[in-house]
Chain A
Amino acid sequence: MKVILCIGVIIVCAYIGYSISKTYIMRKKFFFCLSSFLSQVRREINFSSRKLEEFLCNCDANSKEFNMLVSNYKKLLLLGESINEKTLFADILILSQQEKDCILDFFKSLGKLDVYNQVNTIDNFNKVIQDYYTAAMEESKKYSTLYIKLGIIVGAFIALIII
């Protein structure tokens, strides 16, 4: 019975560790997808001046949070509402306030400028996003395995106490 309990405790602790580490992986994916999206938007605007709606519809990235962000943005556009933080980041919990402000500013200006200025805005924003991505990657390297290991160690420690 004790053995089963110990295994259970280790699994639970490891899972908690994994959940915490997942946030870092998700952040990394989110910024990677956002950066790829910006490159695509830049290309579409600069070369063919395709309208936002056309390529937002085909936007399907590898990050659930990023897809949610795009979907929230589309929803706001269709409703004709102004871009606001509450709706744009609804159900997205992995971003800091500073990151949210920066992304919000960008989406507020998206589609409202001429080609030259829109491309410049995208380039400047992409630089910031690249920094966030680098930071997220480092964090992910540093912490994602750490929290899983910590979870297992804490689980093992509790198991020892139980025994």
Chain B
Amino acid sequence: MLKDLLPLSMYSSLTKKNSEIEINEIRIRVNKPITVLCNTKTYFLSDDGICSASNQAIYGDFNLIEQIIFKACDYSIYAVNEQIKRGYIIVSGGIRIGLCGEVVNDGTIKTIKNFSSICIRIPHLIKNVALPIFNHVLINGEPCNTLILSPPGAGKTTLLRDLVFQFSNHNYPYNIFIADERGEIMGGNDSGTNLGNFCDHISFLNKKDAFMLGIRSMNPNIIATDELGAGEDFDAVEYAINCGVAIIATIHAKDLNDLKNNTLFKRFIENGYFKRYIVLSKENGIGTIEGIYRENFSRIYGGVL
């Protein structure tokens, strides 16, 4: 995946000591050393692979960033400009390239130009990572509304992806509709991501419209979605729950207390919409399950509340 994205020399340096699968994140900033997040530790990229010494590091520049972005969008900026406006590009395989630069703005964001830094996040398909929690998202054999929460980069999407796969893997013939607003769950249409036999997905559509479309046209039993954030995301979730569709979603929050302080989420707590909360952290590596909680935040597994 990265091979198709990075210049050959950079890819060779990157994979000299490490395999692609160990790399979580690459950050390239103009006139700053290129950094690589590998197994939760940050290293610098040198000609001889990743290292801890910054004086050996390769430096990023405008040309390198522009070259990567142009390649990432298959030489067609116009095709991904809507994504650029939101600050990222999703590449085949679910790689997300976060963008920083100068925003062209005339009331609404038109595009971003003169990119000054990019953050390449490499997703990982880890089989059976959701097995320890799978039984907890079922109540009397039926899927319940489940929220996965963690700070960024703790493995929410990976867990969500595998959780969806586990339904099919355990022969639960629930129709699962994936509202993949950022294209990260499915990793673009051509990634061949297999999430089981009962999955339908719509990509790059906001949650409000995606939920409406999904419920009307696909008659799902479960809707899975990533990164609830805006007010209308919560409205969409509420609408789906009221329609009798189970929700499996993720949200950015440090812990349960952080979630409780989220004003947009308050009504969900009061109404007990979500029956299960799964808290992740990077404590013992990405994807550490800190705890599983009921709707009243009583503990089922792990962590101290």
> A residues near B, CB below 8 A?
45, 49-54, 77, 80, 111-115, 118
Residue of B at shortest CB range from A54?
Answer: B74
A-B contact count (CB 8 A): 41
User: Which of A45, A53, A114 has a CB less than 8 Å from the CB of B75?
Assistant: A53
Contacting residues, chain B, for A51 (C-beta < 8 A): 73-76, 79
Closest A residue to B85 using CB positions? A114
From A53, A77, A80, A113, B78 is in contact (CB under 8 Å) with A113
Q: Which of B67, B76, B81, B110 contacts A52 (CB 8 A)?
A: B76
Query: A113, B71: Cβ atoms under 8 Å?
Result: no
**Chain B residues within 8 Å of A114, by CB:** 77-78, 81, 110-111
Query: Would you give 6 A-B contacts (Cβ < 8 Å), ordered by A?
Result: A52-B74, A77-B75, A112-B70, A115-B78, A115-B81, A118-B78
Instruction: Answer whether residue B101 sits at the interface, using C-beta atoms and an 8 A cutoff.
Output: no
Please, what's the 1-or-0 string for B67-109, where 1 marks a CB less than 8 Å from any CB in chain A? 1001101111111010000000000000000000000000000
CB of B231 within 8 Å of the partner chain: no
Q: Mark B218-244, 1 if CB is under 8 A from A, else 0.
A: 000000000000000000000000000
Could you list which residues of chain B lie within 8 angstroms of chain A, going by C-beta atoms? 7, 67, 70-71, 73-79, 81, 110-111
| Given A80-B67, A111-B70, A112-B70: A53 touches B81 (CB 8 Å cut-off) | no
CB within 8 Å for A111 and B67 given contacts A51-B73, A80-B7: no
Chain A residues with CB under 8 Å of B67's CB are 80
Give the 3 A-B residue pairs with the shortest CB-CB distance, closest first: A51-B76, A114-B81, A51-B74
Contacting residues, chain B, for A52 (C-beta < 8 A)? 74-76
B71→A80 contact, CB < 8 A: yes
Task: Closest A residue to B66 by CB, please name it.
Answer: A112
Q: Is B77 a contact of A53 with CB atoms below 8 Å? A: no
Chain B residues lying within 8 Å of A118, measured Cβ to Cβ, are 78
Closest to A117 in B: B78
> How far, in angstroms, from A52 to B77 measured CA to CA in the complex?
10
Q: Give A52 to B251 CA distance when docked, in angstroms.
A: 35
Is the Cβ of A49 less than 8 Å from the Cβ of B78?
yes
Per the bound structure, the CA–CA distance linking A69 and B38 in Å amounts to: 43
Neighbouring B residues of A80 by C-beta, 8 Å:
7, 67, 71
Please measure, in the bound complex, the distance between the C-alpha atom of A115 and the C-alpha atom of B110, giving whole angstroms. 11
- Rounded to whole Å, the gap between the CB of B92 and the closest CB of chain A is 11
